[in-house]
Structure 1
Amino acid sequence: MLLPITLTLAAACALLNMWLAARCARIRIADKALHGDGGNSLLAKRMRAHANFTEYVPMTLILFGLVELAVGASAWLWGAALVFALARIAHGFGMDADKPTVWRASGAMLTWLVMVGLALVALYIAYGATREVPAPPAMAMMR
C-alpha cells in the first residue's frame, strides 16, 4: 500500500535533515572545527538543533506511517504533516538565537502537539475503535 503522506513527509524530513547538517558544516569548514563545536557558540546551537531533529523525527514518522496505514490518507493527516514540517523548520531557525524565541518555542510545541496527537490517535485505533477485524486470508480458506 502506498503511503503518500508518510512518503512526502519522510522526503521533506530528509531534505530538512540535510539543511540542518549543511548549516553545521559551513561553520565547521570556516572554523576548521573537526570535532565538537570548537568553542563556536553558533555551531553548538546548530548542532543541538540538528540533534533535536534526529530525536523527534524518527518516532513521529513511524507514527505517521502506522496511522496512515491504519486509516488511509486524509486531510487531517496531511495537515498534521504540514504542521510538523513547518514546526521543524521554525525550530531550526529559532535555535540560532541567544534568547528564547517564538520560532523555537512554537517549533517545539507544535512538534510535541503533533507527536502526542498521533500517539493518541494510534492508541484509539488500536484499542478504542470498535470494528470487526477480518480473519487473515489463510484462516478464511479453512472454513
Structure 2
Amino acid sequence: MLLMTSIIASVLTIIFIKLSFAVIGLRRKNKVGLGSGGHDDLERAIRAQGNFAEYVPFGIILIACLELNGAPWLLVAIPGIALIIGRLIHAKGINTPPPDFSKRVLGMKFTFYTLIALVALNLGWALYALVG
C-alpha cells in the first residue's frame, strides 16, 4: 500500500487545485481566455501553477517508488513534507507582488534538494535491497 504517498499526493493536489482556481479567477476578472493578456498578477498565477505542475509529478513518482520498494515510512514522509513546504514557499513568493525572489529561490531550493534527495534515497534503497 502507498499510504504515505497517498497523503502527500493528496496534499499536493489540494495545493494544485488552489493554484488552478487562482488562475481561473484572474482569467475571469481580467477577461482573458488564453495567456496572461499582459496582466502581471495573472502571469504570476499562471507560472506558479505551471511551475508546480512541472516539478511535483517527479517528486510524487519518486516518493511512490521509495514506498513501493519498502523504505521506512520516515524516508518517505520527510521528503514528502519537504516537497510540500518547498512548493508552498515558491507559490507564495511568486504570487506576492512584487515577486519575492528570496521566497521563490528558497522554494526552489527546497524542491531541488528534495528531488535530489529522493533520487539518492531511491538509488541507495534499491542498492541496499539488491545487496541485502
Task: Look up the SS of the partner of 2:32 in the other structure.
Answer: coil
Instruction: Describe the superposition over 1:101-121 as per-residue Cα deviations: whole angstroms up to 9, x where unpaired.
Output: 332111110011111100111
> How far apart are the structure 1 equivalents of 2:8 and 2:102?
24
Query: Unaligned regions of 5+ residues in structure 1, if any?
Result: 132-143
Query: Unaligned regions of 5+ residues in structure 2, if any?
Result: none
TM superposition shift of 1:123: 1.5
1:5·1:77 contact (CA, 8 Å) conserved in 2? yes
Under a length normalisation based on structure 2, what TM-score does the superposition of the two structures give? 0.90
Q: Check 1:116–1:91 CA distance in 2 against 1; reply closer, same or farther (3 A cut).
A: same
Task: Look up the SS of the partner of 2:69 in the other structure.
Answer: helix
Task: Look up the SS of the partner of 2:35 in the other structure.
Answer: coil
Instruction: Describe the superposition over 1:4-23 as per-residue Cα deviations: whole angstroms up to 9, x where unpaired.
Output: 11100111111111010111
The aligned counterpart of 2:32 is: 33
Say which one has the larger Rg: 1
TM superposition shift of 1:128: 5.3
Structure 1 window deviating more from structure 2 (65-74 vs 20-29): it is 65-74
- What is the one-letter code of the residue matched to 1:48? R
TM superposition shift of 1:99: 4.4
> How far apart are the structure 1 equivalents of 2:23 and 2:47?
10
Runs in 1 of length 4+ with deviation above 6 angstroms? none
* Greater fraction of residues in helix: 2
Q: How does 1:118-137 map to 2 (within 5 A)?
A: 118-127=118-127, 129=129, 130-131=131-132
Count matched residues: 130
The aligned counterpart of 2:82 is: 83
For the aligned residue pairs, the C-alpha RMSD in angstroms reads: 1.5
2:93·2:99 contact (CA, 8 Å) conserved in 1? no
Instruction: Describe the superposition over 1:32-51 as per-residue Cα deviations: whole angstroms up to 9, x where unpaired.
Output: 11111011011111101111
Q: How does 1:1-143 map to 2 (within 5 A)?
A: 2-96=1-95, 97-127=97-127, 129=129, 130-131=131-132
Of all paired residues, the percent bearing the same amino acid is 25
Q: Check 1:13–1:99 CA distance in 2 against 1; reply closer, same or farther (3 A cut).
A: closer
2:85·2:107 contact (CA, 8 Å) conserved in 1? yes
